[in-house]
Structure 1
Amino acid sequence: MTILVTGASAGFGASISRTLVKAGYQVIGAARRQDKLQHLSQELGAAFLPLEMDVTDTNSVDQALASIPEQWAQIDLLVNNAGLALGMEVAQEANFADWERMIHTNVLGLTYVTRKILPQMVQNNKGYIINLGSTAGSWPYKGGNVYGATKAFVRQFSLNLRTDLVGTRIRVTNVAPGLCGDTEFSNVRFRGDEDRVQAVYENISYLKPEDIANTILWLYQTPAHVNVNHIEIMPVSQTFAGLSVTRDLA
């Protein structure tokens, strides 16, 4: 059985790959940055196959998947992890190019990879798709606009996938993490502004990539008759409670 993890070069993807390989599985780690994949390959050994792939480029996805060796080609678990957030400007001030890139990566990239892998799962009547959503897909926050919308799409797409697959043995789960540190997420969002990055996590006990990786492993190892539709995970320090109210607004 082979597992394909997108966005495997860092953060959640790298941690998920490590955890699954250590648990005894064969993992294909796909990402744009081949240098980081090679470092991960040296660390994890023969059970990890680095695959250069840009999910926003359909030709790149086609070529990458076609290059997978035959003994790795039967994908039993697809972890759609590749994604990003860019900026936190309010909608009327946001950079539209950032919106486009988030949509291309978080929505179009995820759906294209899924569409490429799903037919073989249906043919074999076996498989599992785990999509990495976000609490931002359920709970809006200022500046979350299109990023949150893309993650709401991921959740709904996951639910509709499972509906389309009724009568099959294929499982689908949307995993929605909350505030998580020790990744490149905020570095990418704030374009390397370390002061802004540090401010996000200052004095907070946040989730770690290993927490999400262990969740993925648990999900994969649940009995084949169990389907977890959606799982939302926040650190204890974070909550969705309390709606914003502006006083004396004429």
Structure 2
Amino acid sequence: MNIVLVTGASSGFGQAICRKLIADGYKVIGAARRLDKLQKLAQELGANFLPLTLDVSKKDSVETILLQLPKEFQPIDILINNAGLALGLEPAYEADYNDWQTMIETNVIGLVHLTHQILPGMVERNSGYIINLGSVAGTYPYKGGNVYGASKAFVKQFSANLRTDLLGKKIRVTNIEPGLCGGTEFSNVRFHGNAEQAAEVYKDVDFITPEDIANTVSWLVNTPSHFNVNSIEIMPVAQASAGLAVSKGV
């Protein structure tokens, strides 16, 4: 039975991925900062789910906690780097620098550090799968996306470079790049708890759901071991990359 570590497991994509992979027969470590939500999920999912309090942006705690994993939840065969967030939608010249720093610490540094901790074991066993949750924002810029988009562009390029470094090893790497997804806390977090502003983003749009992403992850991990999806970009039919903008009179 393969063991999966899912970060950001207390809500949204992470929670849906945990549910789906448990249903598929995997043992899942669900990692997040909010233990109460993880414990509730553990009651639902049973003995094959291990709740793990973890803030990926805290370097020392990541190293300590991984060393303390129960034997039955080692080694980690599949790492799903899902933890991430967007904060603010202001233009760069009005953005809060603290928001920028938090996004970089979580979306970039946290993802890199956790990968750095787990990857050597995969290489030693010559087996493993790393799935990163990027975003279409890593490819297509939009107003107010500044550092969030840059952080997801990093995830895209980091994933591609991992594939290059791992050539000759039986380790797979995929970057999932979702577009507009509802049913998560993403926009509530982005707008610092303004539920009305968050709801407006998804009004009258048939958006992607967390279950859509969970089903994508399930498909990926159950493909043959010689099969690697380098990246997969997923948008709702209602969304497309915007055309180039022109500001007249400037």
What's the TM-score once normalised by structure 2's chain length?
0.98
Matched residue SS, 2:207: coil
Measured on the aligned residues, the alpha-carbon RMSD in Å equals 0.7
> Is residue 69 of structure 2 the alignment partner of residue 68 of structure 1?
yes
Q: Which amino acid aligns with 1:43?
A: E
Q: Which amino acid aligns with 2:173?
A: V
Q: Which amino acid aligns with 1:144?
A: G
Q: Which amino acid aligns with 1:160?
A: N
Report what 1:149 is aligned to.
150
Give runs of aligned pairs for residues 86-165 of structure 1, distance below 5 A: 86-165=87-166
The superposition leaves residues 103-151 of structure 1 with CA deviations (integer Å, 9 ceiling, x where unpaired) of 0000000000000000000000000000000000000000000000000
Matched residue SS, 1:187: helix
Runs of 4 or more, structure 1, over 4 Å off, are none
The superposition leaves residues 197-229 of structure 1 with CA deviations (integer Å, 9 ceiling, x where unpaired) of 111000000000000000001000110001100
Q: Which amino acid aligns with 2:137?
A: A
Q: Which amino acid aligns with 2:41?
A: L
Report what 1:47 is aligned to.
48
Q: Which runs of 5+ in 2 are unaligned?
A: none
Distance (whole Å) between structure 2 residues aligned to residue 241 and residue 6 of structure 1: 31
Report what 1:35 is aligned to.
36
Q: Which runs of 5+ in 1 are unaligned?
A: none
Give runs of aligned pairs for residues 78-89 of structure 1, distance below 5 A: 78-89=79-90
Q: Which amino acid aligns with 1:34?
A: L
Matched residue SS, 2:47: helix
Q: Which amino acid aligns with 1:112?
A: H
Report what 2:236 is aligned to.
235
Q: Which amino acid aligns with 1:72?
A: F
Distance (whole Å) between structure 2 residues aligned to residue 66 and residue 224 of structure 1: 27
Matched residue SS, 2:217: helix
Distance (whole Å) between structure 1 residues aligned to residue 200 and residue 144 of structure 2: 16
Report what 1:209 is aligned to.
210
| Aligned pairs, number | 249
- TM-aligned CA deviation for residue 60 of structure 1: 1.4
Distance (whole Å) between structure 2 residues aligned to residue 73 and residue 31 of structure 1: 18
Q: Which amino acid aligns with 1:2?
A: I
Matched residue SS, 2:9: coil
Report what 1:5 is aligned to.
6
Distance (whole Å) between structure 2 residues aligned to residue 246 and residue 105 of structure 1: 34
Distance (whole Å) between structure 2 residues aligned to residue 221 and residue 195 of structure 1: 39
Report what 1:194 is aligned to.
195
Report what 1:219 is aligned to.
220
> Is residue 29 of structure 2 the alignment partner of residue 15 of structure 1?
no
Q: Which amino acid aligns with 1:225?
A: H
- TM-aligned CA deviation for residue 194 of structure 1: 1.6
- TM-aligned CA deviation for residue 246 of structure 1: 2.2
